[in-house]
Structure 1
Amino acid sequence: MAPGIAAIPSARRLSRREVFGIAAGAGAASALFGRAARAAGAPVRGGHLRFAGLTGSTADTLDPARMSVASDYVRGKSFYDGLMALDDRMIPQPALAERLESDDFQTWHVTLRRDVAFHDGATLTAADVVYSLNRHKDPAVASQQWMAAQEMSRVRATGPLTVEIELVGPNVDFPSLLGMDNFAIIRDGTKDFSTANGTGPFVCTGFQPGIRTTGRRNAGFWGVPAWLDTIDLIAIADDMSRHDALLSGDVDIIASANPRLVRMLRARGFGLMESPVGTYTDLAIRLDQMPGSSADFVTGIKYLFDREQVRDSVFLGYARIGNDHPIPPEDPNYAADLPQTMHDPDRARFHLKKSGMGGRDLELFCSPTALASVDIAVLLQYAAERAGMALGIRRMPVDGYWSQYWMKTPMSFGNTNARPSTDMTFALSFGSRAPLNESRWRDPRFDALLLQARAERNEGVRRRIYHDMQAMIRDGSGVCIPAFTTSLDAFDPKVRGLRPNRAGQLMGYGFTRSVWLDNAVGHP
């Protein structure tokens, strides 16, 4: 380790004083985004990249606090930075924070980088950090991380470039929370998000919600500059239209490639990047209303899911089987010894009949914006029919699905992206007061274990606690998680520098920071 670097690479390796630090200069965080480029060969500066994602609507935003879907996160990674950044293994690394320190994991001290500029030329100061973090606690902001932000009882500047963050209780994984895209830093007092004024590698040059976002390379970026000159980000919800745009050369990269088209894409010379991510498509059955208020109904639906069929028929093998809890198999905290919930039509029939729901009008709400949910709904409908129960399917449009139907109806499909830590996965979606508690499941013992794990320094003890919590979710919640997706992103061969990332599709949504265009290798 070079002199002056005091770093513990993961919050999972703890000493009495937790220190995340970097040396002066470009530093570890900027190297994080340049590493992929160097690994793929000699990078080339310049060029215009066109990208098509799956989701886009009038709800698209440039406000980091309100970002909620993949297209938002791609914009966020292009225009903004956080205090911390998550690397390929979802381990927090320094970004705008030069150092992040704590003696007790409850009071954290931030030292900011010097000479970091926003896109409007203003210099980053502690006031910007205080404003950015505190606004999440204002209900009027409608932050996606309102609940997580309540953990910060006080955020105050202790100097021009130093900030103290006091938590309501110890949390070993707090650095991971600061690496979430929603906690990106904006300029003090910002309220207008018709454009983005961040510190990221691209400057926003145009933003039309639901239509297009454009950007150009930030010449004054504090880290390793982006290779691309300009970027053009659009959304094409229709599966075939998105793939046709790639095949015709109208775009260079598409997100969420259809597994059924992988063979054809490869045959035509296009590249495919496979990333085993913790993202899942789930069916959430609300426990606070019928039919989910019947425990037999929920149990019966879980037995109806043929997880192997979902993996093989819907995702064509590009997935790992789930067990109705949110921790994926590649996660170090995954409870591998929990008995797998199996497809069992006889048990399903027994519990569904016992629930007394057979004659009711029951519907599954799904949408193309919830990845593969329409196909999964069809499989579940067929399995229910064989078990003597009729399930209708309501396929809703992309625009408005998340605000009008998801979590609002008795049974709806959702998508959950990979979280940076097990603590955050549980806290955001399964705690009794969690804002994304899709099934309205509440268990006081689960809440107590969550607090216990946050303060536990012994990794082995924490892992055992997390094991018990996974079992509680599997057996008690109304969330059915049949599989974890393997993210598939397709690209023209002239696009270089892509590599898999556990944090999500397209290098944890941060691909614009790393890729370049080799125009000598264009598609024939």
Structure 2
Amino acid sequence: MSSPSPRPHLSRRAVLGAAGLAVTSGAALTACSSDADPAATAPTTGGTLRAAFAGGGADETIDPHRVNLFADAARAKAVYDKLADLGADMAAVPRLAESWTPDADLTVWTVKLRQATFHDGSPVRAADVLYSYRRIANPDETFRAKQDLAPIDLDASKALDDQTVEFVLKYPLAEFPNSLAAFGAYIVPEGAETFDAPIGSGPFTFVSFTPGSEFTAARFDDYWDGAPNIDRLQIVVADEESARINALLGGQVEYAHDLSATTARANEGNDAVTLIASPGSNMLGFAMKTDRAPFDKPEVRQAMFLLCDRDELVESVLSGRGQIGNDLYGLGFEHYAADIPQRERDLETATQLLAAAGVTSITLDTADVGSGFTEAAQIFAEQIREAGVEVEINERNADTYWADVLTEGQIASYRSGAMPIASHISQRLLTDSPTNLTQWHHADFDELYLKLQSTADDAERETLYQEIQQRLHDEGGYLIWGFADWIVGTLPGVQGVAQAPANTLDWARFDKVWMA
């Protein structure tokens, strides 16, 4: 998710006051005491769940096609549905789409819709799907899902009947369902343009929204996937992590989003809070520019891989709450090349490679744009110095960091949230990828990826995935040292919160949450 525009951080008192946390529902939940039965598993109904998220002030939105922040995405998920979503392994899972079937050459996909209704009682139709996708694809707009829907020829695509969409693609695409699960690809009613009082087909109906403060929604009893357990959902803004955890500990909210490993370690053994970690949700590493010295030499990139002490980084930066990486994206995800042996530190070989290449110094870019970013850079710099190479740490402007390091510098601190491995490749590793930070430009690699995407046979496609990842492991520009847990906190009585990476199906599934 991109960072919100800079603005003053509110104190916990100011945040919660502005959010209007005096719950109006008579069935509102109170803070759970430590004597709540943690073993209770049978879902119960009723009450209001209050969830604290970092916000973005005036930039926050409930237009589902403009979602950018985690808070935006949580609100959109409450009110709207997509045709598909991503499971914990990043494989597409049907939602409003009951099924999808390709033709023989993977250029025409027929999508059957399930029986679902919008909050005004009207049915979800093929016309609503096509309208939503055409709105996202508007060339005058910058909706985030536009790139994921780009393979669709929306002029040629059509509704076969109210429950069937025929998507015509511009080229063969074996993993088209991932496009249906794209971030922000929500279905709105045909003709919807304003979202002051939005109507969706999701589990909650809109009640109120104040950007930078609060969002309230009520249970939709006719939701196709079953009515939510709670009566009402409030999403409140608390920019600072300390405000979120303190509001949780104080009983002013029942759910706190996006907690750091440091906060988790500080609250281990605290009966007043339940910590829920989703392993491997965030990738952490360094991106080397493969088109310029010294990292245009594969042996220099190999030396960096071998210098990295991944265990030290996971233990120090993540307080042990994570897993070491093997310089490949998507640990545990569908198609991940788990059979490639784990790379180990080899200081002697790395030192020899750097000496032979004549490398005596590098500049490592970093910024305070994420938990542990600068700490990881400092630790890795010390590991590099053991090979006799001087390292200058360049602290860049946090507000412009991602734009700056996209084209500038030699090597930079890097992170990524969860997405399908195919999306990681298409967005970051093709010659014309929009965020090709490592400047990885290889026509034969592009051709291999296109071959993968047009291969219908699952086994053949899996072989191509392994070939692509082996090449990236051998000579790519991403040094991926670890995968951090995604951590949220709840009061002990909150049940049904899944261990799920952010932006996947079971993340922020507040319709499935209940209070014991």
TM-score tier by shorter-chain length is: 0.7 to 0.9
Correspondences of 1:381-420 after superposition (within 5 Å): 381-386=381-386, 387-394=388-395, 396-397=397-398, 400=399, 404-405=403-404, 407=406, 409-410=408-409, 411-419=411-419
> Aligned equivalents of 1:71 and 1:127: distance in 2?
29
The residue type equivalent to 2:443 in the other structure is P
Is the 8 Å Cα contact of residues 106 and 170 (structure 1) preserved in structure 2?
yes
Change (3 A) 1:115 1:316: closer
The residue type equivalent to 1:224 in the other structure is G
Change (3 A) 1:344 1:76: farther
Mean alpha-carbon deviation: is it higher for 285-294 or for 184-193?
285-294
Q: Tell me the TM-score normalized by structure 2.
A: 0.80
Q: Deviations over 1:420-457 (max 9, x none)?
A: x4333322332222233332312222222222222334
Corresponding pairs, count: 472
The residue type equivalent to 1:188 in the other structure is E
> Aligned equivalents of 1:286 and 1:131: distance in 2?
41
Corresponding position of 1:106: 107
Change (3 A) 1:149 1:303: same
Correspondences of 1:24-423 after superposition (within 5 Å): 41-54=41-54, 56=56, 58-104=58-104, 105-114=106-115, 116-117=117-118, 119=119, 122-154=122-154, 155-193=157-195, 196-269=198-271, 270-288=273-291, 293=296, 298-328=301-331, 330-331=332-333, 333-348=335-350, 362-368=363-369, 370-386=370-386, 387-394=388-395, 396-397=397-398, 400=399, 404-405=403-404, 407=406, 409-410=408-409, 411-419=411-419, 421-423=420-422
Change (3 A) 1:359 1:406: closer
Q: Deviations over 1:25-75 (max 9, x none)?
A: xxxxxxxxxxxxxx9622222222222235645544434444344333322
> Aligned equivalents of 1:480 and 1:210: distance in 2?
36
The residue type equivalent to 1:128 in the other structure is D
Is the 8 Å Cα contact of residues 364 and 413 (structure 2) preserved in structure 1?
no
Is the 8 Å Cα contact of residues 488 and 505 (structure 1) preserved in structure 2?
no
The residue type equivalent to 1:442 in the other structure is H
Correspondences of 1:423-442 after superposition (within 5 Å): 423-442=422-441
Corresponding position of 2:482: 483
**TM-fit CA distance, 1:114:** 3.8
Corresponding position of 1:504: 502
Is the 8 Å Cα contact of residues 45 and 229 (structure 2) preserved in structure 1?
yes
User: Which ranges in structure 2 are unaligned for 5 or more consecutive residues?
Assistant: 1-38
> Aligned equivalents of 1:355 and 1:215: distance in 2?
60
**TM-fit CA distance, 1:115:** 5.1
Structure 2 residue matching 1:255: 3-state secondary structure = strand
Is the 8 Å Cα contact of residues 371 and 415 (structure 1) preserved in structure 2?
no
Is the 8 Å Cα contact of residues 99 and 111 (structure 1) preserved in structure 2?
yes
Structure 2 residue matching 1:181: 3-state secondary structure = coil
Is the 8 Å Cα contact of residues 277 and 505 (structure 1) preserved in structure 2?
no
Change (3 A) 1:90 1:392: closer
Change (3 A) 1:192 1:296: farther
> Aligned equivalents of 1:402 and 1:141: distance in 2?
24
Change (3 A) 1:92 1:363: closer
Q: Deviations over 1:222-258 (max 9, x none)?
A: 3311122222224544343332222222322223333
The residue type equivalent to 2:444 in the other structure is R
> Aligned equivalents of 2:181 and 2:139: distance in 1?
22
**TM-fit CA distance, 1:151:** 1.3
Is the 8 Å Cα contact of residues 202 and 223 (structure 2) preserved in structure 1?
yes
> RMSD of the TM alignment (CA)?
3.2
**TM-fit CA distance, 1:515:** 0.6
The residue type equivalent to 2:141 in the other structure is V
Corresponding position of 1:516: 514
Is the 8 Å Cα contact of residues 101 and 109 (structure 2) preserved in structure 1?
yes
Q: Tell me the TM-score normalized by structure 1.
A: 0.79
Is the 8 Å Cα contact of residues 276 and 485 (structure 1) preserved in structure 2?
yes
Change (3 A) 1:404 1:459: closer
Is the 8 Å Cα contact of residues 314 and 323 (structure 2) preserved in structure 1?
yes
User: Which ranges in structure 1 are unaligned for 5 or more consecutive residues?
Assistant: 1-38, 519-524
> Aligned equivalents of 2:289 and 2:197: distance in 1?
37
Is the 8 Å Cα contact of residues 260 and 371 (structure 2) preserved in structure 1?
no
Change (3 A) 1:356 1:46: farther
The residue type equivalent to 1:124 in the other structure is V
**TM-fit CA distance, 1:81:** 0.4
> Aligned equivalents of 2:416 and 2:115: distance in 1?
36
Q: Deviations over 1:452-482 (max 9, x none)?
A: 2223343332222111111222334322211
Mean alpha-carbon deviation: is it higher for 48-57 or for 284-293?
284-293
Q: Deviations over 1:235-286 (max 9, x none)?
A: 5443433322222223222233333343542422121222224431232334
Corresponding position of 1:16: none
The residue type equivalent to 2:203 in the other structure is P
Is the 8 Å Cα contact of residues 367 and 401 (structure 1) preserved in structure 2?
no
> Aligned equivalents of 1:359 and 1:64: distance in 2?
47
